[in-house]
Structure 1
Amino acid sequence: MSNFTYAFILSTLAGLSTLIGFIPLLFNLKNEKTIILSSLAFASGVMICVSLTDLIPESFNLLTSIFKGFPALLFLLIFITLGVIISMLVDKFLPNNDNKSISNKKLYRLGLVSMLAIIMHNIPEGVATFLSSSTNMSLGLSLALAISFHNIPEGISIAIPIYFSTKSRLKAFLYTLISGLSEPLGAILAYLFLSSIINNFIMSIILSIIAGIMIHISIYELLTESLSYKKRRLTFIFFSIGFIFMLISHFLLG
């Protein structure tokens, strides 16, 4: 098997692990409101943890390899802020589905913005997995396993809102699948275009912008909507579970 084939397969499998987040929808789910608020709070904790413990530190490390001291921090803050602004603009211009109730519209938008954020997050992950696997198969496998573990709760953050807003398992499956396929898309982009032009500065920009997008979505969209169900303690518990889940995954998978 060529290095390209191996790297592409790993990127694809890592991306498709997002579909594991769809599996709970194959069963009869009761207590709809509790499931929605807990899944939103859980996804919010996951996204905040990924941003604070993965994307931002990695971006800062890349920036400090180019700039020393304050300039690196300034660039980091600028691009995180840019990510927040991009997320706000996307949220503003996302179309509403007028055939849904107000609560279902909110859930549907949450599913959409989560999908968009995760697509943007998965593409550079696909790039990283492909480039790592094509040069070091062992490193690529470790990275793909770590990403697969992370992708499961991200799949939940798409599948649950889409399903409960549309009552369609097929739509929930397709939206989750689309987000997962962005990972092998990143691998293809890496192979065709990026392997020769990607550098630390460009990657740091991408990671910090994605961090800003995910922070905005997790706080302004997911956490706010979860709190609207007026079960603050349950929201806090599942937010904490999501955050701790990702911390443990970082620790176990390095």
Structure 2
Amino acid sequence: MIPFIGTSLGAFCVYFMKKDLSKGVERMLSGFAAGVMVAASIWSLLIPAMEESSGMGRLAFIPAVIGFWIGIGFLLLMDHVIPHMHAATNEVEGPKSSLSRTTMLVLAVTLHNIPEGMAVGVVFAGWMTGNSGISLGGALALSLGIAIQNFPEGAIISMPLYSAGSSRHRAFRNGVLSGVVEPIGAILTIIFAQALTPILPYMLSFAAGAMLYVVVEELIPEMSEGKHSHSGVLMFAVGFSIMMTLDVALG
């Protein structure tokens, strides 16, 4: 629920912000989110995945590599089969559809949130099994890091909807709905925690691959848009530093 609360609080910005987010602010927020997700993928997912496979010796990287590529492939498939639209470009991606612009904007953010929910769920599942090196602090660090980057993500979806003509209530509702997939994915993963134990390294790296797909395919282009992208790069560094600090300090 922690990442979902972050998304909801961000969407709540529509009630006290009068104007749409500027391109500069959107670049900064995208950069920040990208930094958090890259650091989370490394410290919270890929490194624990290889530590889980330490019994394989020098081949401990194999489950991480396999899971990583499955995660990349899964998001690539979702990108092609689910119609969606990104506010920054207003270009429809995926198959042709008669869905409204609002629905496709929400679906775009929902796609981003799928790997985040799975990441939180699989890390908590790893902690619950008691057989992994994942600590409760590390699991909480990932939840907090994703919640922090979900705050601007909630604003990025609700503010454009409001400026496009939706009421504040509808824009807020759609912003919140875009984050519902996170607790659902996390809870389902936790429910099947014991069954996931043998494939935990693959699941951790799967979530990392899916998250990095989102970063490279969507967030980095958005943070680099325009002539002056230094602010996006700096916010990437800020997000990366915060997530790295949380994971090491709490883990």
TM-score range, shorter chain: 0.7 to 0.9
Report what 1:89 is aligned to. 77
In the TM superposition, what are the counterparts of 1:25-104 in structure 2 within 5 Å?
Answer: 25=13, 26-28=15-17, 30=19, 31-65=21-55, 67-69=56-58, 71-96=59-84, 102-103=89-90
1:217 aligned onto 2:220: no
Contact 1:126 1:185 (C-alpha < 8 Å) held by counterparts: no
Structure 2, unaligned runs of 5 or more: 94-103, 163-170
Given that residues 16 and 177 in structure 1 are in contact (C-alpha distance below 8 angstroms), is that contact kept between their aligned partners in structure 2?
no
Q: Percent identity?
A: 18
Give the length in aligned residue pairs.
225
1:228 to 215, 225, 228: 225
The aligned residue for residue 97 of structure 2 is none
Q: Provide the C-alpha distance between the structure 2 equivalents of 1:151 and 1:101, rounded to a whole number of angstroms.
A: 21
Name the CA distance, whole Å, in 2 between partners of 1:150 and 1:55. Answer: 13
Who is 2:145 aligned against? 150
Q: Does 1:160 align with 2:148?
A: no
TM-score, normalization by structure 1: 0.75
The answer to which structure has the higher helix fraction is 1
TM-score (structure 2 length as normaliser)? 0.76
Q: 1:93 is aligned with what amino acid?
A: V
- Name the aligned partner's letter for residue 65 of structure 2: L
Q: Counterparts of 1:101 and 1:48 in 2: how far apart (Å)?
A: 21
Q: Deviations over 1:147-191 (max 9, x none)?
A: 44223124236413322443311111122244234333333x13x
Q: Does 1:242 align with 2:239?
A: yes
The alpha-carbon deviation at position 97 of structure 1 amounts to 5.8
The answer to whether the 8 Å contact 1:110/1:222 transfers is no
Q: Which residue identity is paired with 2:222?
A: E
1:202 is displaced (CA, Å) by: 0.2
Specify which of 109, 112, 120 is matched with residue 111 of structure 1.
109
